[in-house]
A and B are shown apart, each in its own frame.
Chain A
Amino acid sequence: MPEPSKSLLSVRDLRIQATSYPPGEAPKRITIVDGVSFDLEKGKVLGLIGESGAGKSTIGLAALAYGRGGAEITGGEVNLNGTNILALGKGGIAKLRGARVCYVAQSAAAAFNPAHKLGDQVIEASVKHGLMTKDEALKRALYLFRVLGLPDPETFGKRFPHQVSGGQLQRAMTAMALCPSPELIVFDEPTTALDVTTQIDVLAAIKHAIEETHTAALYITHDLAVVAQISDDIMVLRHGKTVEYGSVQQIIEAPQQDYTRALVNVRQATRKEAPDQSRPLLVVDDVSAQYSNGFKVLHNVSLHLCKGQTLAVVGESGSGKSTLARVITGLLPPSEGKVTFEGETLTPALKNRSRDELRRIQLIYQMADTAMNPRQTVRDIIGRPLTFYDGLRGAAKTARVKELLEQIEMGTGFVDRYPAELSGGQKQRVAIARALAARPELILCDEPTSALDPLVAEGILKLLMKLQEEQQLSYIFITHDIAIVRAIADSVAVMHRGRLVRFGPKSQALSPPFDDYTDLLLKSVPEMKLGWLEQVLTTRRMESAGN
């Protein structure tokens, strides 16, 4: 760990508080960040990692002397090159932000002004702060576009934000942050919203640019595997307090705290692949689907799933994996082909399906927040399918609701809670209970864990696997996370641009020889070991040289 005197950024005993207004109660003072200290040297990267609510973004913004949404910095020091920036006046802070300290937000698509060209936005801060003339700034932007590996760096700045892809936009935002040659950059989950295959490019570009420009950086993420590739030091945060702080090597290879160990070892749960996959429960037979405007989103997809097994559908956003689920549920009737369930053809359109057909196939959504009516209690949410399909009422219904709550490992004390009074993981559990209440045979899980923190997601996966064993449930598990696929699937379907590129039992689908896309997808998933990024990049370089 560096000496405080030598370090560029030195945070001492940082304390950030906010006032919360819980409904029906008196306002409460809550502490978001408590007693956090760290040092960062020039040219080094510190990774801040933790689940949502750990205070990592709040710390990142404190490095810009900024408190978001009513958060107040109430104690401690943030020293940048020996000056406490928290003591600076308004003018001093304005000179600091966008010149000496820059910020890269999670969603570049939302952070760029759609009405201005990218180039103008990239150089705006540098010119406004009087750090360079417009010509100098344009030259630097061109240099940065090259370093970040953007296509056609000469003309890239002339494009509008909607004309480039998400990954390119994220790199453009990095260029914007690097343009004024800041001493420190704060990256706030820059790759979280990107697909894995894009994420790797952006990660490589950021890493290269940091090395090239000798800027120090704070890298905020919830993904330990990502931060391991890019940081020199890591600080693990939980509930606003430091859990563990050390070098990357120490954190990844020899974590001291239980919480860190749990993070490093997440997704150890594995399911043995079912040996017999010959008698299918659900068969998707040569299905194509299109929107009402004629846009075709699925092209001749055929796959099947056996009773009591899990089919994982993998692909990037826009690959048609959610559309496949919509076709099976009947929300989007197929334009060609058919879906059979236990040997009988499923009615294509939702509104023509019988109640029993509807009951047997249930869906779990990615966002449990929006999938439950905020004005119904847990009892109403879980109880409705019981009344609707089985005619349960009164005491019998309440008893069954409580039984279901036990099954999803939540206490019966939650019966009268509203969704807003539950945590993210609890909400997803209630959504699972709602699906179970219908006594389904097949549950479609549309990314049920991707909005959750890793440890919570692990709990949900374990619950789903336990339920599968107890009740012989079949799952279609839609995800973009290969690690989950490895853990829980029996068979795997890889989708790309509306087509099925690979389908088979897990052992076959995830072992070579691969098609190009599956190969790229598998190699892009960050692994929790040091030097993984370099390895992949070297292999890629060798392959392209070989071609």
Chain B
Amino acid sequence: MMRLRDIPVTAWVGIFGILLAIFCALFAPWVAPYGETQVVGDVWQEADARFFFGLDNLGRDILSRLIFGARTTLFVAFAATFISFSLGIVLSFIAAVTGGLVDTVFSRFNDLMMSIPTLIFALVVLAVLPQHILILIVVMAVLDSTRVYRLGRAVALDVAVMEFVEAARLRGEGTTWIIFREILPNTLSPLLAEFGLRFAFAILFLSTLSFLGLGIQPPTADWGGMVKDNKDGIIFGIAAALVPGTAIAALCICVNLVVDWLLKRTSSLKGGRGDA
């Protein structure tokens, strides 16, 4: 159905970037020239032939930490975004399709969650709960799903009043069919666009939490944490913090390039709902 040569160059760039990051994450111990926590030279040593990006604030190889950091960063960000989307979409679509009391309860609870600043909420919850990467992911996902819920409910309400949904109801279809077969395919465009954005936010949120000491715990490497570790170097003209920063930016761009292509595919797909 889909042919490889129909994929535009930009999407190839994005796919290549994401595959590279995944490759690094999977095979980190074999790819990385040095260990994750191994001190191999002076603090903030300049880049040379041995150390491609130079060394960090403790004298560890930045390239190696970047490769190991891809593991945590990719895993946590993807998992959190994926869970937040699943949760947000399912709940918002149920609210939009059912309406009435269910809609009111879900939506007001969502408003309640959103009225508490996300970061403070996360800090309180993470400080109370045991420090574990799965808990971190779930907390990030739940907090982020409030945004997805709002968008999902808005787009689903538009589609839920269409006649083909009414026709499905008249046929006697259940809520599950209506949500996943009738509404979801027609709301993919805005949701995909949101996914690209939310993924970038998840990486940034993770680094914020790491910065405050509640995210990934040292000495495990993650890209956000690496920015934090090396930020003081910027004052002295040392570019060490910019390397993981660039990696975050590059990954976000790659994800969005792929999302843009998927977006074009879904919205132009024979009789899509226009270029949403």
Report Cα–Cα, A372/B186, bound state, in Å: 12
Known: A350-B170, A363-B167. A373 touches B186 (CB 8 A): yes
Report Cα–Cα, A408/B268, bound state, in Å: 29
State whether A23 touches B182 (Cβ < 8 A): no
* B contact residues around A353 at 8 Å (CB): 172
* B contact residues around A365 at 8 Å (CB): 163, 167
> Which of A331, A373, A434 is B182 in contact with, Cβ under 8 Å?
A373
State whether B169 touches A350 (Cβ < 8 A): yes
List residues 230-254 of chain A with CB under 8 A from any CB of chain B.
none
State whether A331 touches B270 (Cβ < 8 A): no
State whether A358 touches B185 (Cβ < 8 A): no
Q: Is A388 an interface position by the 8 A CB rule?
A: yes
State whether A420 touches B271 (Cβ < 8 A): yes
CB distance from B78 to the nearest CB of A (A): 26
Q: Is A532 an interface position by the 8 A CB rule?
A: no
* A contact residues around B164 at 8 Å (CB): 370-373
Q: Is A438 an interface position by the 8 A CB rule?
A: yes
1/0 contact string of B152-177 vs chain A (CB within 8 Å): 00000000001110110111110000
Q: Which residue of the partner chain B has the closest CB to A23?
A: B268
Q: Is A267 an interface position by the 8 A CB rule?
A: no
State whether A371 touches B270 (Cβ < 8 A): no
* B contact residues around A362 at 8 Å (CB): 170
Q: Is B33 an interface position by the 8 A CB rule?
A: no
Report Cα–Cα, A344/B204, bound state, in Å: 63
Q: Is A24 an interface position by the 8 A CB rule?
A: yes
Interface centre among B6, B164, B181, B272 (most CB of A within 10 A): B164
Q: Is A421 an interface position by the 8 A CB rule?
A: yes
Q: Is B269 an interface position by the 8 A CB rule?
A: yes
* B contact residues around A375 at 8 Å (CB): 185-186, 269, 271-272
CB distance from B274 to the nearest CB of A (A): 10
Report Cα–Cα, A23/B169, bound state, in Å: 31
State whether B273 touches A388 (Cβ < 8 A): no
CB distance from B272 to the nearest CB of A (A): 7
Known: A353-B172, A358-B172, A388-B173. A371 touches B167 (CB 8 A): yes
Report Cα–Cα, A110/B110, bound state, in Å: 37
* B contact residues around A23 at 8 Å (CB): 268-270, 272
* B contact residues around A421 at 8 Å (CB): 270-271
* A contact residues around B6 at 8 Å (CB): 24
CB distance from A367 to the nearest CB of B (A): 7
Q: Is A329 an interface position by the 8 A CB rule?
A: yes
State whether B170 touches A374 (Cβ < 8 A): no
State whether A374 touches B268 (Cβ < 8 A): no
State whether A419 touches B163 (Cβ < 8 A): no
* B contact residues around A372 at 8 Å (CB): 164, 167
* A contact residues around B172 at 8 Å (CB): 353, 355, 358, 388
Interface centre among A355, A358, A434 (most CB of B within 10 A): A358
Report Cα–Cα, A330/B182, bound state, in Å: 21
Q: Is A66 an interface position by the 8 A CB rule?
A: no
State whether A370 touches B270 (Cβ < 8 A): no
State whether A358 touches B170 (Cβ < 8 A): yes
State whether B163 touches A370 (Cβ < 8 A): yes
Report Cα–Cα, A370/B159, bound state, in Å: 10
Q: Which residue of the partner chain B has the closest CB to A362?
A: B170
1/0 contact string of B176-208 vs chain A (CB within 8 Å): 000001100110000000000000000000000
Q: Is A160 an interface position by the 8 A CB rule?
A: no
Q: Is A304 an interface position by the 8 A CB rule?
A: no
Q: Is A504 an interface position by the 8 A CB rule?
A: no
List residues 269-296 of chain A with CB under 8 A from any CB of chain B.
none
State whether A367 touches B163 (Cβ < 8 A): yes
* A contact residues around B269 at 8 Å (CB): 23, 375, 418
Known: A358-B170, A388-B172. A370 touches B185 (CB 8 A): no
Q: Is A459 an interface position by the 8 A CB rule?
A: no
State whether B171 touches A370 (Cβ < 8 A): no
State whether A373 touches B171 (Cβ < 8 A): no
CB distance from A435 to the nearest CB of B (A): 9
Report Cα–Cα, A370/B268, bound state, in Å: 17
1/0 contact string of B64-105 vs chain A (CB within 8 Å): 000000000000000000000000000000000000000000
> Which of B163, B271, B272 is A371 in contact with, Cβ under 8 Å?
B163
Q: Which residue of the partner chain B has the closest CB to A355?
A: B172
Report Cα–Cα, A331/B171, bound state, in Å: 12
Report Cα–Cα, A429/B269, bound state, in Å: 22
Q: Is A384 an interface position by the 8 A CB rule?
A: yes
Q: Which residue of the partner chain B has the closest CB to A374?
A: B271
CB distance from B4 to the nearest CB of A (A): 15
* B contact residues around A358 at 8 Å (CB): 170-172
Report Cα–Cα, A105/B166, bound state, in Å: 32
Q: Is A67 an interface position by the 8 A CB rule?
A: no
Supply 7 further A-B pairs (C-beta < 8 A) apart from A375-B271, A384-B171.
Answer: A331-B166, A365-B167, A370-B163, A370-B164, A371-B164, A375-B186, A421-B270
What is the interface of chain A, defined by CB distance below 8 A to chain B? Answer: 23-24, 329-331, 350, 353, 355, 358, 362-363, 365, 367, 370-376, 384-385, 388, 418-421, 434, 438
Could you give 22 example pairs across A and B, Cβ below 8 Å? A23-B272, A24-B6, A24-B268, A329-B170, A355-B172, A358-B170, A358-B172, A367-B163, A370-B163, A370-B164, A371-B163, A372-B164, A373-B182, A373-B186, A374-B272, A376-B185, A385-B171, A388-B171, A388-B172, A418-B270, A420-B271, A434-B167
What is the interface of chain B, defined by CB distance below 8 A to chain A? Answer: 6, 162-164, 166-167, 169-173, 181-182, 185-186, 268-273
Report the 7 A-B pairs with minimum CB-CB distance, sorted nearest first: A420-B271, A418-B270, A375-B185, A374-B271, A23-B268, A371-B163, A358-B172
